[in-house]
Structure 1
Amino acid sequence: MRGLAAVLALLPTLAFAQMLPLPALHDVQGVAADDVLNIRSGPDAGSGVIGALAPDATGVEVVERSDDLKWGLVNAAEGAGWVALRFLQRQAGQDYGQFPPVTACSGTEPFWSMTRDAGADHWVYESPDGPGESLSPSLLLTASGRIDRWAMRFGAGGVPGTAVFGLAACSDGMSDRAYGITVDLLLDGATGPAMLSGCCTLTR
């Protein structure tokens, strides 16, 4: 009875975690040290295995949930597949309305990237037009009346501009990878003003 009571006490917490917005970073849990967490082609145990996560893998980005809330879509190589959510623990600090821990964004035609510098409060923008340019965030705003859109302004100490992020499905147009964050980048770079669109990820 004591074990049942503990499980019942956890149910509201588990249900709430299942409804928190995605994408979000997770850690693998409950997998034996000599085993792996399979990534499957579909959200069911009968689908083929297309990859695997180590039993101690951390920082796994879950992009979306299956309709039954039991499976999460993750990227594997140049594609995406499904893992059982019961073996993933959502990392703390990723709540409603909080700006996701985006680390990299990119787009095509023209090819460009915007990568957050690990350990420093700035981003590096790169494109075929020239060398990397530093972007230093000076302001982060959440859209009025919404919890799924943010604007980041880049100011002193780098190239000025604004990036507008949104929670929405996104395709890079080149691979079968899945993305859950879009970005529109307005940049006043060395070669002149530019507006670029692309997809963002929480991992590198």
Structure 2
Amino acid sequence: MLKYLLVLAISVLNTNSAFAGWVDYPALYDVTGVASDDVLNVREGQSASTPIINTLAPNQRNIEIVNVSDDGRWGLVSFPGGSGWVSMRYLARQPDQNPQYLPKPLNCSGNEPFWGLSIGNQTALFEIAGNPALTFTPIWEDIPIGMQAVSYAIKMQGNNEDITAIISRNRCSDGMSESVYGFAIDLIISGQSGNQYYTGCCSIN
């Protein structure tokens, strides 16, 4: 098990080396500077001339920006079933978001089978579709020594099972929609029934 986790951690680091710009994202933003009778457009591409595919309310909060364009003017945002680009001019970053720490709450999920993991400050809930949710307590988390905070390891303890996960700031797709996520997760559940390995995506929204 330890050998596998070391190999997995090295793999994540190698993947993330190509995504150094992801260290500050995903992050939560609020809409600002939009009139109360107007909306903020979500566009198909990084230009005001591209089609509008969704809108954000003038007072909308907790918008997860997955990443930004090279010039920093456009932010990638997901919505149910899709994703698009929004002008960063009308978004204000929420304070106290330190990428050195794994953001919480963090909601992760995957499919085949459908599963979900919600990580809070004190507890975490893991559920496979059709089964009761299991409660875990986070007991340890860290980032790779000497590296930027683009990946995190976290261990959670349950009554009869433990969860070990590596979560990386990396573009991720659920494979079922056009939604884009900013975190990828590799998760191992160890317990009386053996080890189960799951992969999926995570969101801070």
Give the TM-score normalised by the residue count of structure 2. 0.82
Which stretches in structure 2 are left out of the alignment for 5+ residues?
1-20
Aligned residue in 1 for 2:80: 77
Deviation at 1:200, TM superposition (A): 0.3
C-alpha separation in 1, matches of 2:160 and 2:167: 20
Match of 2:54, as an amino acid?
G
Higher deviation after alignment, 151-160 or 102-111? 151-160
Aligned residue in 2 for 1:172: 174
Instruction: Give the one of 52, 58, 63 matched to 1:60.
Output: 63
Higher deviation after alignment, 87-96 or 33-42? 87-96
Specify whether residues 125 and 41 from structure 1 end up closer, same or farther in structure 2 by C-alpha distance, changes over 3 A only.
Answer: same
Please tell me whether Structure 1 or Structure 2 has the larger radius of gyration of its CA atoms.
1
Is the Cα contact below 8 Å between 1:20 and 1:95 reproduced in 2?
Answer: no
Instruction: Give the one of 151, 154, 157 matched to 2:156.
Output: 154
* Count of aligned residue pairs for this structure pair: 184
C-alpha separation in 2, matches of 1:70 and 1:183: 28
1:47 aligns with 2:50: yes
Which stretches in structure 1 are left out of the alignment for 5+ residues?
1-17
C-alpha separation in 2, matches of 1:137 and 1:67: 36
Deviation at 1:129, TM superposition (A): 6.3
Report the secondary structure of 1:86's partner residue.
helix
Deviation at 1:128, TM superposition (A): 3.5
Describe the superposition over 1:114-146 as per-residue Cα deviations: whole angstroms up to 9, x where unpaired: 1236xx721111113631111211111111122
Is the Cα contact below 8 Å between 1:26 and 1:91 reproduced in 2?
Answer: yes
* Runs of 4+ residues deviating >3 angstroms: 156-159, 189-192
C-alpha separation in 1, matches of 2:201 and 2:70: 23
Match of 2:84, as an amino acid?
G
RMSD: 2.1
Report the secondary structure of 2:132's partner residue.
strand
Higher deviation after alignment, 108-117 or 153-162? 153-162
Aligned residue in 1 for 2:10: none
Higher deviation after alignment, 136-145 or 98-107? 98-107
